[in-house]
Each structure stands twice: as structure tokens, then as C-alpha cells.
Amino acid sequence: MKLGVYFRESWHNLLADKTYGLVYILAVAFSMAMVMTYLTVQAVRMDNSYPEVHRDRMLSIPSMTFSAGQSVRDRGVNKDFMQRFLSGPIPGLEAWTAVKTDNFIVSTTSGESVNMAVEFIGSGFRTIFPLDVIDGAWLSEDAADRVVPEVMISESAAVLLLGRKDVVGETVFFDSREFRICGVVRDVPMTATYAFAQIWAPDIETFFERLVAPALGGMQGSYEIVLLAGSRRDFGRVRQEIEDRVERYNRSGDDDWKMTFTNGIPSQKERIFMFGSASAYRWIGLGVVLLVLLVPVLNLSGMTGSGMEARMAEFGVRKSFGAWRGAIVRQVTAENLLLTLIGGVLGLLLSYLLLYLLQDQLYDLLPLNGVADIRGIAEAPAFAFRDFFRLRLYLLLFVLVAALNLLSAMAPALKVLHRPITESLNSQK
């Protein structure tokens, strides 16, 4: 019997028992949609995406612990730290950059003022975070040394502040200084842990460095360091070299402040879970996925068994006319495959629907989503979760679900088929 015939019979049986078919399809659709929604949220946090296209090769130094006697401080680092510990070749390191982000009231010559996130970036920033400049040019090498320093602005910030996107050459003011816009950048989502900003400025001395930082002493400051390794295999070498340099400095006695890495030198994934366990979260996530998938499978297995019992007389008649057990097994397989296929298509549509309807709720699960509220940043750029949906991953998930459903259907099917023909024929008397 050809596969098409099996599917036609399966469709007929589906129409004959609509309740069973509907429950089966919805169970498959909802389980797949929920798992894909969860996996998509994780993709937003961890996958390479604009402009953090090297997340899988990124390390960072988010803060250091400085101790001197009874004084202990967790802070960023300053330029003296970079000069001493990051200058010169580091095995396995491709590039590094210092970043510091703060909010400023940004104003224009026309009097418009908006609170915006401003990121001061080092020379290696462009290699690690290739921002898409849609108008104008990237910061020039002497951007910080010009009479009027240059800055880049995001397209949404340009519209908010100046009412249009073609703002190259315009002047803005913040941190008691005048700046000239040299480029307009495609919006960066707030989930870009290190690259997010609305204005990118060259690494110049801010109010903090001018007045506060000198009082801290040692190598304390406001910078975080982002490191780009040649590959993930180089993480160990990069960490070891920097840690050795810091340890040698601590033993030298040149400074009263001793330094340790507050949270080590984490990878991008470890940075997200800096205050928790990445491995624990991974196992919890795996448990959630298996639970969402296996509970419907177990329930469907019971439903399949009940359905087979109800059709016992039908199978008895087919066996009495010489039907091979393999043909009946193929029929059961075709029916489950058809229902799973319909559920998979519906689950795909439902996944897109959930990612659209729950956009705001899902956004609350992501890191840095509260920056706009905490800092009062106006109209920070958002993004569509659907952009992170991976169809290939969905198809792999569908294959897994189909295999689980077929396996769950085989046990009750084989149990029924091994019953004697006479018992099958008399089952509904």
C-alpha cells in the first residue's frame, strides 16, 4: 500500500474522531511553540547578532576588587590599568577595547534636550563591534583631539533629537562640551550588552575622570574591558596571561591597593549569568524543554492506547482477512505522522504569534532591558523577537517530536496487535 493511501485513510479517521485529532494536534502545536519561544529568548541573549557578531569569542573584565587594609571596593578600571596589563602582545588575543557608558542630557543649538545613553569607546571597538554606519563615517583616529570632538549617533536618536536622520555635520552638547556628528549608525538593540548606546563618542576624559577618579587612587576607574580572542580555544591562554600580569604586580608592592578579578574574566555567556550559575541555568533550561515536550508525549501515548482499544474490532477484521501486522503498524504510524505534521505547521504559526503578542513580556526577561527606565533614556531602540527565530532549529525540533510521538504510539499499537483475532473481533460485543 502506498504512503498516499495511508495518509488518505488517516485523514478519514481524523474526520471520524475530531476530538482525538484536535487534542493531539493542539498538544503538539503548543509544546513546540512554547519550546521555540524559550529557545528564541535564549538566542537573543547568547547568539551572535548585530552588532555583537563575535559573542562566541568575547571575554570581558567587568570589574575588579581593590583592597587595601580594611578598605574593599568593586569598581571598573582606569587607563593606567590598561597601559600596564593590556599593552604588548597577549597570546590568543585578537583585539581589546575599553568601554564606559553613562547617560547625559544631550542638547542641540535649537534648544532640544533629551536624556541619552552615551558610550565612550576605544580604538579596538570597531574590530569587536562593527556598527553599521548608514550615513557619514566612523570616528576618525584624531576624533578626541579635535577642537570639536566627533561623535556618532543612532538613527532613532537623531530623529528624536534633531527630527531627521541626515544629521552629519550637526552639533550636539553634553558633559559641558560641544561635539560634531560625523556618522549615523543603525540602531543597536539594548540587549547588546556592551555595544548598546545612542551616541558613541571617542575615549575622552569625562566629569568622573576629571574630578572623582583621581581621589580613588591605584587603578580604579569607570571602564570595563572587552577582549576578543582568536577563537574559544584561546580563552584559557588569554585569561592566564592577564591573571599572571596582575598577580606579578600584586607581589611587586608598587601599590597599596591589591587587585583581584571580582568575577574572573567571563565569556559573554558567563557575563550574562555573572551573579548566578550558567551551568545550573543550562540544566534548568534543558529540564524545562524536556518537561514541555515529554508531558504531551506521555499524554498522547495514553490517548493512542485508548484509541487503539476503541478500534480493536476494526483491526480484528483486517487481521482476519490476512492483513499483515506490518501494514497495520504503518497505518498507525501514518496517522500519528499526519497529526504531528499538522500540529507542527500549526506550532510554527503559533510560535510567530506568541513572539509577536508577548514581545513586551519576553523583553522583560532579557538583560539590560531596564536601562531605559532606570536611567530615563527616551525611546531606546527595540527589536523583533521573530528576527531571532531559527527555522532550521524548529525543523530539528519537529523531527525530535515526531520521533517521540511515533515511539509513544508504537507501544500501545504493538500491544493491541498481539491480541488474538477472536478477542479483537469480540471486543465490541
- Residue with the larger pLDDT of the pair 8 and 103: 103
Question: What is the predicted pLDDT for the residue at 121?
Answer: 92
286-336 pLDDT, tens per residue?
A: 555 555 555 555 555 555 555 555 555 555 555 554 555 556 667 777 777
- Region 64-87: mean pLDDT is 87
Question: What's the mean per-residue pLDDT of the chain?
Answer: 78
Q: Report residue 330 as a C-alpha cell.
A: 504503518
d(CA 38, CA 385): 11
55-74 pLDDT, tens per residue?
A: 999 999 998 998 887 888 88
Phi-psi region of 226 (alpha: psi -120 to 50; beta: other; left: phi over 0): beta
Please check whether residue 259 is in contact with residue 219, taking contact to mean a CB–CB distance below 8 angstroms: yes
Question: What is the predicted pLDDT for the residue at 239?
Answer: 96
For the chain, the first-to-last Cα distance in angstroms comes to 30
Percent of the chain with pLDDT over 70: 69
- pLDDT-based confidence at 425, cuts 50/70/90? very low
Q: Report residue 338 as a C-alpha cell.
A: 499526519
221-257 pLDDT, tens per residue?
A: 889 999 999 999 999 999 999 999 999 998 887 777 8
Question: What is the predicted pLDDT for the residue at 372?
Answer: 45
d(CA 242, CA 93): 11
Question: What is the predicted pLDDT for the residue at 280?
Answer: 43
Question: What is the predicted pLDDT for the residue at 383?
Answer: 67
Please check whether residue 107 is in contact with residue 239, taking contact to mean a CB–CB distance below 8 angstroms: no
Burial annotation 50-79 (CB, 10 A radius, 16+ → b, else e): bbbebbebbbbbbbbebeeeeeeeebbbbb
d(CA 152, CA 202): 9
Q: Report residue 28 as a C-alpha cell.
A: 503538539
Main-chain phi, psi angles of 172, to 5 degrees: -130, 160
3-state secondary structure of 370: coil
- Residue with the larger pLDDT of the pair 115 and 414: 115
| CA–CA distances in Å: residue 357 to residues 128, 353, 379, 387 | 33, 6, 20, 14
pLDDT over 80 (residue 199):
yes
343-382 pLDDT, tens per residue?
A: 889 989 988 888 888 777 776 666 544 444 445 565 555 6
Chain position carrying cell 574559544:
232
